[in-house]
A and B are shown apart, each in its own frame.
Chain A
Amino acid sequence: MSFQILAEAKKVAKITLIGEVDSLSAREFQKEIERLAVEQPDELVLFVENLTFISSAGLRVLIFAKQKMGTHLAVYMVKPQESVVETLEKTGLHHSINIVDQYL
């Protein structure tokens, strides 16, 4: 008889972004990050399948998240659109963010 044990103690913060993140909406995004940072999550998961636009203001919130939530924070972006991935690559953020097709 086989034995399995699965345990999880990590804290995960999840945010879904829909539509366009520009300098105006980035302020809302940042407030949400600040609110979640209090919980000191280990992982930040961003569901971005329906995110159609992100400017540098939005990217700065991602940098802010990493700085605010601690360097141990693992950031996941689930299903970003091609143009969003390109912006992440141009600015090198793809080195610090895990781009994934799904988060389990």
Chain B
Amino acid sequence: MERKTFPGTLDSLADIRQVAKEEAQRVGLSKKAAYNLMLAIDEIATNIIVHGYEEAGRSGSVDVVTEVADGQLILTLEDDATPFDPLQRDLPGEETFTQPLEERPIGGMGIYLTINGIDEFRYEFVNNRNRNIFISRIGEK
């Protein structure tokens, strides 16, 4: 298990994505799966930084924990913001995405892309930290 810590600011996003990209390549995920994992990580890290830290007037870090187990690449984002489960919000339904852009509600797209891009997404609050867990099966797709 490896842990990398980044400041909870938007300019960390590129580095956080880079970790996801490197790990995905290391375990041999397809280009598509690697991109989708990078996108998922970016979306959740953005939420943590913007809503968990910036808008709440707090500062903190975002840890990226990497683990390979049971044929899975498991990346976990950990932060110290207020407990927030991204799965608790209402996901936009199919109808949202067929609406014309000008009538469309903004929001919900990020979590939608997260869940649809990887094999499994989980959230837990452990030891006073948010843990967003991204699971990609190795050797598929």
Contact = CB atoms under 8 A, between A and B. Distances in A.
Contacts of A56: 43, 109-110, 113
Given A22-B14, A24-B10, A59-B109, A93 B46 contact: no
A29 to B, nearest CB: 13
Interface stretch (B83-91, B98-106, B119-127): B98-106
Contacts of B99: 92
B95 to A, nearest CB: 10
Contacts of A92: 96-99
A90 interface: yes
B14 A20 contact: yes
A71 B102 contact: yes
Contacts of B112: 90-91
A22 B116 contact: no
B113 A23 contact: no
Contacts of A91: 97, 109, 112-113
Interface of A: 20, 22-24, 53, 55-57, 59-60, 62-64, 66-67, 71, 83, 86-87, 90-93, 95-96
